[in-house]
């Protein structure tokens, strides 16, 4: 990790960094992020680059050095370009839509949440954006599609994972919410389910 920590983080056009004590504030076209630098790492601006340094070669210092540099690099990329995770909803009739800052999700459950319109009303957290590309699933080859995006990599990933947990893909028909491109290992159904021995 120490070799990663030594690499400066270049600032792309439009990104500004403000250092105040142990606080790092990074602002860019996609938003603003704040982070507290852990002891004993120090952060400085040199030649339009963010540089992380450590005072010694203790194991903890080396680990925090690399971690700090990686987190700052993620913040810089986040405010400059943003992060995006695409998800797909499989199951005929399943769907999703956005009403203001509330994400409505219908994934086959009955009698829950807001009833038959949708089973889940999910408030979109500040700093995140949901975009619906295809609102209704029309078969195995035409899933409903939406994306979660924002400047904070951890927040985007955690929110997308929370939505996926609401209806994880089941292994028989593949119904559920999955990441775009995610491969689901399918199981064969029980061909003789309910059949007797005949004797």
pLDDT in tens, 140-168: 789 999 999 999 999 999 999 999 999 99
Q: Which helix (H) or strand (E) holds 72?
A: helix 59-80
Which pLDDT score, from 0 to 100, does residue 189 have?
Answer: 60
Q: What is the pLDDT of residue 1?
A: 43
Q: Is the pLDDT of residue 100 over 60?
A: yes
In whole angstroms, how large is the CA radius of gyration of the chain?
23
Q: Which of 107-116, 117-126, 148-157 has the lowest mean pLDDT?
A: 107-116
Write down the pLDDT at residue 191: 52
With a pLDDT cut of 70, the percent of the chain lying above it is 88
Distance CA 69, CA 4 (A): 7
pLDDT tens by residue, 54-98: 999 999 999 999 999 999 999 999 999 999 999 999 998 899 999
The rounded distance, in Å, linking the Cα atoms of 24 and 186 is 46
User: pTM for the complete prediction?
Assistant: 0.86
User: What's the pLDDT score for residue 172?
Assistant: 86
Residue with the bigger pLDDT between 108 and 90: it is 90
pLDDT at 114 over 50: no
8 A C-beta contact, residue 113 and residue 127:
no
Determine the pLDDT at residue 196: 52
What pLDDT is stored for residue 194 in this prediction?
A: 52
**Mean pLDDT (whole number) for 18-24:** 96
Residue 115 has pLDDT above 50, yes or no: no
Cβ atoms of residues 191 and 197 within 8 Å:
no
Average of per-residue pLDDT across 98-103: 96
Beta-carbon count within 10 A of 187 CB: 10
């Amino acid at each position: 990790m120490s070799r990663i920590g030594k690499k400066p983080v270049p600032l792309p056009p439009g990104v500004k960094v403000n250092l105040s004590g142990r606080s790092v504030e990074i602002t860019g076209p996609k938003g603003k992020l704040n982070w507290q630098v852990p002891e004993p790492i120090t952060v400085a601006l040199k030649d339009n680059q963010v540089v992380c340094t450590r005072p010694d070669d203790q194991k903890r210092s080396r680990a925090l050095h690399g971690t700090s540099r990686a987190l700052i690099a993620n913040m810089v990329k986040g405010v400059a370009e943003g992060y995006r995770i695409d998800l797909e909803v499989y199951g005929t009739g399943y769907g999703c839509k956005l009403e203001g800052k509330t994400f409505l999700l219908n994934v086959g459950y009955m009698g829950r949440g807001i009833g038959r319109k949708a089973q889940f009303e999910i408030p979109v957290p500040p700093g995140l954006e949901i975009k619906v590309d295809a609102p209704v699933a029309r078969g195995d080859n035409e899933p409903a599609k939406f994306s979660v995006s924002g400047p904070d990599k951890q927040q985007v990933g955690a929110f997308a994972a929370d939505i996926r947990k609401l209806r994880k893909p089941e292994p028989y028909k593949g119904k559920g919410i999955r990441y775009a491109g995610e491969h689901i290992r399918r199981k064969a159904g029980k061909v003789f389910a309910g059949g007797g021995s005949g004797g």
